[in-house]
Structure 1
């Protein structure tokens, strides 16, 4: 049975999916108490606590060796200065020739350096301190940490459609959003955010990629 480690639990959805559909053992980590509580509750409700372990822990403190690794859009919270640390830890957590799948939102290589110094709408209002890497920096940094790129798939156009549907569903649930205590300002802010991202993905200024790495043995 493969032992999979997930860096960045989210709300536990992927860990549950992996355990239910592939029968693997999963260790998933988060630094968010809210995400930890929700993920634990969902896993217990599914009767999979014997197979899925959730830890409230910084990824840099995790120990052990795993057959597979996955990290879904957590890298945007790492920061440029810690990118090498992130990939080094991914390598350390994998057994020799173990596979790691990283999903990352990326920006065009030509726009990368300028974006590092720019505070756009998302950095100001949605994800303060967020970091959007480019593919060349990701592949180079991973290679330096003995992770060999095996496959890369760009799913940016699919993500544009996803954002379009998110916005449609969000606006359709306007009254429910207000009932939760959010105001019209929040709705407008989130509406613009979803439009902003959809446009970026459609134009290819930003994208979303799956990068499959193998841990080198040398």
Structure 2
């Protein structure tokens, strides 16, 4: 039995996976399951099976990107969903492992990239966020919220869920008119502009992406609030001043574990004595781990999604109080379904911007991320931090009341 047969027989228990090999023969693994769509793929050359089995997390993606793995029934979302449904995190079943050499190499790469110096951080941000603006317009909501939405029900659309996410976060900040707010990792400015509009606050947004900075400033000018909502290209470590509130959405994933304590100490220095901070980040359920090789190489170099224990333990030396913690378990998977559908609908436009290989890489990224939230160990954490235990009311009622009153 080949290395790939051993790998496939061990992996596929739920649902059917059929391979058409380069010589025309076919083999089906697993058993039919109405909850999991069957998938058929074709290997374009005889070396694909061994190539994938040597390092499944990376090589399956590269085989798909290069057209060596062709999906004949279903699509890449169906394929990854089938794989991950056979290894749910809750079931504690390890299914995807490559050779010892590949495992060691991937772990070393993840460790090295996690240091994220100021220079490396800017380079890593540019790799992903300085892509063509048109790409993000094609699959994100109208406000360009490139982070987990907040779904109040399965029927809610993406634009509404992203608006609800902003209100959900704003409520936890306990905002009052005239406060000074810092947005660390401000993206294209949507959160900063919303907070100003919804709560009459002044906002400074900081980013390391030159493309995002340009768009954010244009949006503030167009809204007529450039005097109250400002954006700067600066690393959080170099920032000075004091802020009544700090919000950070989707940035902590790029900080790097060795920099966690630095991040929280800096946030404490920047936060007013009676201030409130809201950290929204992708995280991992259970114990600390490592970023998969595909994501590090092609999508988010230097990126890492922390366990809750890593976040809280790193904030403790800064004497920041974790006043409220919420785990969003399925919201990002639902968000990614919308992004994937929009990306598929915009295929011709994305291929025109880049090429077929980029399109396959992007859809693999979105489908893989979705499956990690639906079946794997990823989630989102929203953690409210305060310096003074009396900084916020002693019950959560104020959050619910504020969220109902905030505009959408």
- Which protein has greater RCO, CA pairs closer than 8 Å, 6+ apart? 1
Q: List structure 1 runs of 4+ shifted beyond 4 angstroms.
A: none
On the 8 A contact 1:146/1:216 being kept in 2, the answer is: no
Q: What aligned pairs does 1:75-94 form with structure 2 within 5 A after superposition?
A: 75-94=252-271
* 2:305 pairs with 1:128: no
Where structure 1 has 5 or more consecutive residues not aligned to the other structure, the ranges are: none
Work out whether 1:205 is the aligned partner of 2:205. Answer: no
Write out per-residue CA displacement over residues 91-122 of structure 1, whole angstroms, 9 at most, x where no aligned residue.
11111121100011111232x14x1xx64221
Contact kept? 1:156, 1:204, Cα under 8 Å: no
Q: Show the counterpart of 1:13.
A: 190
The size of the alignment, in residue pairs, is: 212
In structure 2, the residue matched to 1:167 is 340
Aligned-pair CA distance for 1:53: 1.2
Structure richer in strand, relative to its length: 1
Q: Cα deviation per residue 1:70-111 (whole Å; 9 max; x = unaligned)?
A: 01111111111111000111111111121100011111232x
What does residue 101 of structure 1 align with? 278
Q: Tell me how far apart the structure 1 counterparts of residues 310 and 388 of structure 2 sit (CA, whole Å).
A: 19
2:219 is the alignment partner of 1:47: no
Q: CA RMSD in A?
A: 1.3
Name 1:29's counterpart in structure 2.
Answer: 206
Counterpart CA distance in 2 for 1:98 and 1:156 is 28
TM-score with structure 1 setting the length:
0.93
1:13-62 deviation line (CA, Å, top 9, x unaligned): 11111111111000111122111111101110111111111111111111
Q: Give the whole-Å Cα distance in 2 for the aligned partners of 1:52 and 1:93.
A: 18
Q: Does residue 366 of structure 2 align to residue 194 of structure 1?
A: yes
Task: Indicate whether 1:176 and 2:346 are aligned.
Answer: no
- Report the CA distance between 1:204 and its aligned residue: 4.6
- Equivalence map 1:110-125=2 (5 Å): 110=287, 112-113=288-289, 115=290, 119-125=292-298
Task: Output the CA distance in 2 between the equivalents of 1:103 and 1:78.
Answer: 13
TM-score normalised over the length of structure 2: 0.51
Q: What are the superposed Cα offsets for residues 109-148 of structure 1, whole Å, 9 maximum, x if unpaired?
A: 32x14x1xx6422112111111221101101111221110
d(CA) in 2 for partners of 1:175, 1:188: 12
Structure 2: distance between partners of 1:183 and 1:169: 17
Matching of residue 155 in structure 1 with residue 328 in structure 2: yes
1:185 partnered with 2:377: no
